[in-house]
Structure 1
Amino acid sequence: MQERVVRNDGPRLATRGLYTLILRLALPLALARLYWRGLKAPGYRRRVGERLAWGEPAPRASVWIHAVSVGEVQAAGPMIRRLQSRFPDSGILVTTTTPTGAERLGELFGEGVAHRYTPYDLPGVVGRFLDQVRPGLTIVMETEIWPNLLAACEQRAIPVVLANARLSERSAHGYARVAELSRETLERFSRIAVQSRGDAERFMALGAAPERVRVTGSIKFDLRQPASQRDCAEALRRLWGQRPVWVAASTHEGEESMLLQAHRRLLARIPRALLILVPRHPERFDRVAALVARHGLALARRSRQEVCGEETAVFLGDTMGELPALLAAGDVAFIGGSLVPIGGHNLLEAAASGVPVLVGPHTFNFAAITEMMLEAGGAERVPDAEALAERLRTWLADAALRAEVGARGLAVVERNRGALDRLLEVIEEAVGLQPPAAS
Structure 2
Amino acid sequence: MNRIILSLYSLLMWVAQPFLRGKLARRSLQEPGYGEAVQERFGHYSQPEEAQADLVWVHAVSLGETRTAALLVKALRAEHPGLRILLTSGTATGRAEGESLLREGDIHIWQPWDSAAAVARFFDHFKPRLGLLMETEVWPNLVAAAGARAVPLVLVNGRLSEKSLRKALAISPLSYPAFGALAAVYAQTGDDAKRFRQLGVDVAGVFGNLKFDARPDMDQQATGKAWRQALARQVVMFASSREGEEGAFFKEISATAQQRRATPAIDVIAADIFPPKFLIVPRHPQRFDEVQALAEQHGLRVSRRSGWAAGPADSEEAMSADVWLGDSLGEMALYYALSDVALLGGSFEPLGGQNLIEAAACGCPVVMGLHTFNFTEAADLAEAAGAARRVADMPEAVHTSLVLLARPDAHQAAVAASFAFTAGNRGATQKTLAALRPLLRR
TM-score (norm 2): 0.90
| CA RMSD after TM alignment | 1.9
Give the Cα separation in 2 of the matches to 1:229 and 1:79: 22
Shift of 1:164: 0.5
Give the Cα separation in 2 of the matches to 1:372 and 1:333: 17
Shift of 1:179: 1.2
Give the Cα separation in 1 of the matches to 2:22 and 2:227: 40
Deviation readout 1:110-162 (Å, 9 max, x if unpaired): 77853211110112111111222221111000011111111111111111110
Counterpart for residue 302 of structure 2:
299
Shift of 1:49: 0.9
Taking a change above 3 Å as real, the CA distance of residues 427 and 405 of structure 1, as seen in their structure-2 partners, is: same
Counterpart for residue 347 of structure 2:
338
Taking a change above 3 Å as real, the CA distance of residues 224 and 151 of structure 1, as seen in their structure-2 partners, is: same
Choose the corresponding residue for 1:103, options 74, 91, 96. 96
Counterpart for residue 286 of structure 1:
289
Q: Secondary structure at the match of 1:68?
A: coil
Taking a change above 3 Å as real, the CA distance of residues 107 and 257 of structure 1, as seen in their structure-2 partners, is: farther
1:119 to 2:112 alignment: yes
Taking a change above 3 Å as real, the CA distance of residues 347 and 112 of structure 1, as seen in their structure-2 partners, is: farther
Counterpart for residue 209 of structure 2:
218
Alignment of 1:239-250 (within 5 A): 241-250=231-240
Counterpart for residue 82 of structure 1:
75
Choose the corresponding residue for 2:421, options 396, 412, 437. 412
Q: Secondary structure at the match of 1:309?
A: helix
Give the Cα separation in 2 of the matches to 1:79 and 1:16: 32
Say if 2:247 and 2:294, in contact at 8 Å, map to a contact too: yes
Deviation readout 1:42-96 (Å, 9 max, x if unpaired): 2111211111121413774621111111111111111111111111111112111
Say if 2:352 and 2:374, in contact at 8 Å, map to a contact too: yes
Alignment of 1:368-379 (within 5 A): 368-379=377-388
Counterpart for residue 136 of structure 2:
143
Deviation readout 1:367-414 (Å, 9 max, x if unpaired): 011111111221111111210121011112222211101211221211
1:349 to 2:339 alignment: no
Deviation readout 1:315-347 (Å, 9 max, x if unpaired): 111111011221122100111001111100101
Shift of 1:310: 2.5
Q: Secondary structure at the match of 1:249?
A: strand
Taking a change above 3 Å as real, the CA distance of residues 428 and 255 of structure 1, as seen in their structure-2 partners, is: same
Give the Cα separation in 2 of the matches to 1:24 and 1:236: 52
Q: Secondary structure at the match of 2:16?
A: helix
Give the Cα separation in 2 of the matches to 1:111 and 1:121: 28
Give the Cα separation in 1 of the matches to 2:15 and 2:333: 40
Counterpart for residue 396 of structure 2:
387
More moved, 384-393 vs 302-311: 302-311
Say if 1:266 and 1:273, in contact at 8 Å, map to a contact too: no
Give the Cα separation in 1 of the matches to 2:389 and 2:293: 30
Taking a change above 3 Å as real, the CA distance of residues 287 and 313 of structure 1, as seen in their structure-2 partners, is: same
Say if 2:87 and 2:109, in contact at 8 Å, map to a contact too: yes
Counterpart for residue 154 of structure 2:
161
Say if 1:266 and 1:393, in contact at 8 Å, map to a contact too: no
Give the Cα separation in 1 of the matches to 2:16 and 2:10: 10
Counterpart for residue 278 of structure 2:
275
Give the Cα separation in 2 of the matches to 1:265 and 1:394: 17
Choose the corresponding residue for 1:237, options 228, 240, 257. 228
Give the Cα separation in 2 of the matches to 1:99 and 1:315: 25
Say if 1:355 and 1:402, in contact at 8 Å, map to a contact too: no
Shift of 1:304: 3.1
Counterpart for residue 64 of structure 1:
57
Q: Secondary structure at the match of 2:380?
A: helix
1:173 to 2:162 alignment: no
Give the Cα separation in 2 of the matches to 1:118 and 1:129: 9
Shift of 1:173: 0.6
Deviation readout 1:243-301 (Å, 9 max, x if unpaired): 11011111111111111123235553456321111111111111001111111112111
Give the Cα separation in 1 of the matches to 2:294 and 2:406: 27
Give the Cα separation in 1 of the matches to 2:299 and 2:226: 28
More moved, 105-114 vs 24-33: 105-114
Taking a change above 3 Å as real, the CA distance of residues 271 and 61 of structure 1, as seen in their structure-2 partners, is: farther
Q: Secondary structure at the match of 1:315?
A: strand
Unaligned segments of structure 1, at least 5 residues: 1-10, 434-439
Counterpart for residue 263 of structure 1:
253
1:30 to 2:20 alignment: yes
Letter of the 2:228 counterpart: R
Counterpart for residue 34 of structure 2:
44
Counterpart for residue 260 of structure 2:
none
Say if 2:233 and 2:274, in contact at 8 Å, map to a contact too: no
Q: Secondary structure at the match of 2:240?
A: strand
Taking a change above 3 Å as real, the CA distance of residues 107 and 245 of structure 1, as seen in their structure-2 partners, is: farther
Letter of the 1:407 counterpart: A
Q: Secondary structure at the match of 1:310?
A: helix
- Structure 1 vs Structure 2: percent identity of aligned residues? 37
Give the Cα separation in 2 of the matches to 1:36 and 1:55: 22
Choose the corresponding residue for 1:20, options 3, 6, 10. 10
Q: Secondary structure at the match of 2:319?
A: coil
Letter of the 1:371 counterpart: D
Say if 1:236 and 1:326, in contact at 8 Å, map to a contact too: no
Counterpart for residue 196 of structure 1:
189
Letter of the 2:432 counterpart: L
Unaligned segments of structure 2, at least 5 residues: 258-267, 310-314
Letter of the 1:79 counterpart: L
Letter of the 2:305 counterpart: R
Counterpart for residue 319 of structure 1:
328
Say if 1:200 and 1:213, in contact at 8 Å, map to a contact too: no
Letter of the 1:402 counterpart: H
